[in-house]
Chains A and B, each alone.
Chain A
Amino acid sequence: MLDKLAIAAHDLRMTYDGARPVHALKDVMLDIRQGEMLLVMGPSGSGKSTLLSIIGGLLTPTGGSVSVSGTEITHLGRKALGRFRLQNFGYVFQTFNLFSSMTGAENVELAFDIRGVRGRKARTAVRDLLSQFGLNEQADRLARDLSGGEKQRVAIARALAGNPCAILADEPTSQLDAENGAIVTDILSELARKRGTTVVIAAHDDRIQKVADRVVRLDDGRL
């Protein structure tokens, strides 16, 4: 599975305009294989989040190109890019970004609803996903009442709702204690190994470094 190219970033450049323009990425070349768990490391401000945003279709680079499963996404229009993200990516955020007034199950169900999967089919899929991450008992609790580890597991379940080809995770363990950090790391690792999902993580966490297939380092926008 690792032979197949999932994401190819070519000559990526990103400059943020301002009184003093910031060159966040400088000629970044990066190929990521399907089912690969890639860890992007680097100090704060090195461009990790920018790289993740660009290969995840959230940000258009100043120069260069990104192909995902053979589709060049850097030239897609806003609506087309939105559809592409919906069908191909799952995102896991440092601060979880769950709807706090909805239950864990409702948060995941919303991700199905967005993709047009509703009713009993959606509810069954939600229960299956939450069950995989040991969240059966927490499914009906409000997101704001869940622990950090539980929130991040719900967020991963939500990210998997569309059966994406790639999961992009920004500092997924930085808000978690050691035990929960390890659980989340294992889940992400299993996603790559058992499901063949490409997992790209931007983090400082040594635990992730130990299980990642490959580690790349960004320094001042250069790989």
Chain B
Amino acid sequence: MALSGIVFAVTLLTVQVALFSGFSNSTTLPIAESSADVWVAAPEMLYFEGTLPLEYGTVAKIRAVPGVARAEALSLGIARWRSPHDELALGRIIGFDPGGKLFNPGNAAGATLKLLRRPYAFAVDATQLHILDLQRVGQSGVIGTLPAHLAYVTRGTQPIVSATFFYTSLETANAYTPSALSFFSPPGSAPPPLESTDPIMYVMVQAKNPAASAQLAAAIQHSIPHVRAMTRAEMLATTRDYWVKRTGIGFILSLIALMGAIVGVAVVGQILYTSINEHFHEYGTLKAIGVNDGYLYGVVALQASCMAVIGYVPSLAFTFAIRGIAAERGVDILITPGGALLVLAAALLICISAGMVAMQRVVRADPALVFRA
């Protein structure tokens, strides 16, 4: 009974921490999809989706900066999707160069990736198909007023916090953008190549020396006016911090994880308190014999640690087991080695501190009570 309660409490904590980790990881998925060492954005950039456009011509300028091995554009736009059955959905268009090397959502094979070179072809994450009212590759809908054909399906590329990401070529993305002239293009015509003044959101940069990414970012920022150049780590941290620290979602998930810990403390504390009370006379006997408080605390700490570890193993197994179910619904439950160690440390801390509190009654007890049976 005690053990099942502890398993429940630790599982609650493990799932909450894994959900928080998954959420935190999910917010940066598009950045993680890229192998770029440096990201260049507008100076006002707040997080991945919250930024202002650059001109496509910026890509060529960055290629000229010493130390740059490769530079590719990434565009972001808003999509109004209409399904084959006239179902509406809102999404984000992510345009990139399918022939490039710095962005490959879902790590698709070369041949698959090339499918996006076709006009109006796109890829989406498998978790988004039902939102878009799509069942299989090859189906088509409409974005804005232009056709949109599902070329392939990706996995693990959709942030939980974002509207559906439509991955497509830069040209198609530009055509879907309402401000582009191609918006008025007649259906059936291929989208035109980008011009230097067309809007993009990011320039992804591969450094000749990846170890010197920070120096390259500084050099780009120095050479190109009105841009913000960040290393990959800075870009990840900026976006993750925005979602975790500045939005209600991050706050709510942090709060839920904290609540998990508080409930865990309450449940484990109650269990250990009951357990110690049940053995009160036995602990009282040890006290009467003359053991010091440190020994009593040591006994309880050992008992609590064993309970924490025994409760931790099934909780971890349960969390792994529900990962697949959650992933099908687009929810990432992420258990990193660090997260697993954190939960173990928290479980130990919760159990030991609850045991110490519960032990107070024994420590304060009158040792003569054992003669008053």
Interface residues of A (CB under 8 A from B): 49, 52-53, 58-59, 79, 81-87, 89, 91, 93-95, 97-100, 110-111, 114, 170
10 contacts between A and B (CB under 8 A): A49-B371, A82-B292, A84-B290, A91-B289, A94-B373, A110-B286, A114-B286, A114-B290, A114-B291, A170-B373
Pick the contact of B290 from A82, A95, A100 — CB < 8 Å?
A: A82
Verify A93–B285 contact, CB threshold 8 A: yes
Q: How far is the CA of A158 from the CA of B290 in the complex (A)?
A: 13
Nearest-neighbour CB distance to chain B for A219, whole angstroms, equals 19
A residues within 8 A CB of B282?
A: 97-100
Decide: B289 and A53 in contact? CB cutoff 8 A: no
Most A CB within 10 A of own CB, among B282, B290, B370:
B290
With a CB–CB cut-off of 8 A, which chain A residues contact B279?
99
Q: Which residues of B contact A52 (CB under 8 A)?
A: 371
Q: Which residue of A lies closest to B285 (CB)?
A: A97
Contact of B368 with A58 in the complex, beta carbons under 8 Å: yes
Give the CA-CA distance A111 to B290 in the complex, in Å. 10
Contact A86 B289 (CB under 8 A): yes
Complex contact A53–B291 (CB within 8 A): no
Nearest CB of chain B from residue A117's CB, rounded to whole Å: 14
Q: Chain B: interface residue count, which band?
A: 20 to 34
Interface check B367, CB cutoff 8 A = yes
Least CB separation from A83: chain B residue: B290
Q: Which residue of B lies closest to A91 (CB)?
A: B288
> Are A59's CB and B366's CB within 8 A?
yes
> CB of B295 within 8 A of chain A?
yes
Return chain A residues, CB-CB under 8 Å to B366.
58-59
Interface contact A58-B291, CB-CB below 8 Å:
no
Residues in B with CB closer than 8 Å to A114 are: 286, 289-291, 295
Residues of B within 8 A of A (CB): 279, 281-282, 284-292, 295, 366-368, 370-373
Question: Which of B284, B295, B368 is close to A59, meaning CB atoms less than 8 Å apart?
Answer: B368
* Pairwise interchain contact B295-A93, C-beta atoms closer than 8 A: no
B308 CB to closest chain A CB (Å) equals 19
| A95 contacts B371, C-beta separation under 8 Å | no
Contact of B371 with A86 in the complex, beta carbons under 8 Å: no
Residues of chain B with a CB closer than 8 A to A111's CB: 289
State which of A58, A79, A84, A94 has its C-beta within 8 Å of the C-beta of B367.
Answer: A58
Nearest-Cβ distance from residue A197 to partner chain B, whole angstroms: 16
Q: Are A85 and B290 in contact (CB under 8 A)?
A: yes
Contact A86 B281, beta carbon cutoff 8 Å: no
**Complex: chain B residue closest to A168, CB-CB:** B371
Contact A85 B373 (CB under 8 A): no
A83→B294 CA distance, assembly (Å): 13
Q: Could you tell me the distance in whole angstroms from the C-beta of A178 to the nearest C-beta in chain B?
A: 21
Complex CA–CA separation, A18 to B292 (angstroms)? 29
Tell me if B295 and A97 are in contact (CB < 8 A).
Answer: no
What separation, in Å, do the CA atoms of A79 and B291 have in the docked complex? 9
Q: Please indicate the chain A residues that have their CB under 8 angstroms from the CB of B367 in the complex.
A: 58-59, 82, 85
A52 CA / B282 CA spacing, docked (Å): 19
- B366 to chain A: closest CB distance in Å? 7
Contact of A58 among B281, B292, B295, B371 (CB under 8 A): B371
Looking at the assembled complex, report how far the CB atom of A76 sits from the nearest CB atom of chain B, in whole angstroms: 11
Q: Bound state CA distance, A79 and B295, in angstroms?
A: 12
Q: Considering the complex, give the chain B residue whose CB is closest to the CB of A170.
A: B371
Interchain CB contact under 8 A, B286 and A93 = no
Alpha-carbon distance between A53 and B286 when the two chains are bound, in angstroms: 15
A98 to B286, CA, bound (A): 10
Query: Which chain B residues lie closer than 8 Å to A170 at the CB level?
Result: 371, 373
Given contacts A82-B290, A114-B295, contact A97 B370 (CB under 8 A): yes
* A82 touching B371 in the complex, CB below 8 Å, given contacts A59-B366, A114-B286: no
Determine whether the beta carbon of B368 is less than 8 Å from that of A82.
Answer: no
- In the complex, which of the residues A58, A99, A100 contacts B288, with contact meaning CB atoms closer than 8 Å? A58
Question: B284 — nearest CB in chain A belongs to which residue?
Answer: A97
Contacts of B281 in A (CB 8 A): 95, 97
Q: Is the CB of B371 within 8 A of A79?
A: no
- Are A85 and B371 in touch, CB under 8 angstroms? no
11 additional A-B residue pairs with CB within 8 Å, beyond A86-B290, A89-B290, A97-B285: A58-B288, A58-B368, A58-B371, A59-B368, A82-B290, A82-B292, A85-B367, A93-B285, A93-B370, A95-B281, A97-B281
Check if B291 sits within 8 Å of A82, measured CB to CB.
yes
When distances are taken between beta carbons in the complex, the residues of chain B under 8 Å from A79 are 292
A89 surroundings in chain B (CB, below 8 A): 290
Give the nearest-CB partner of B367 in chain A.
Answer: A58
Once bound together, how far apart are the Cα atoms of A111 and B282, in whole Å? Answer: 12
B360 to chain A, nearest CB (A): 15
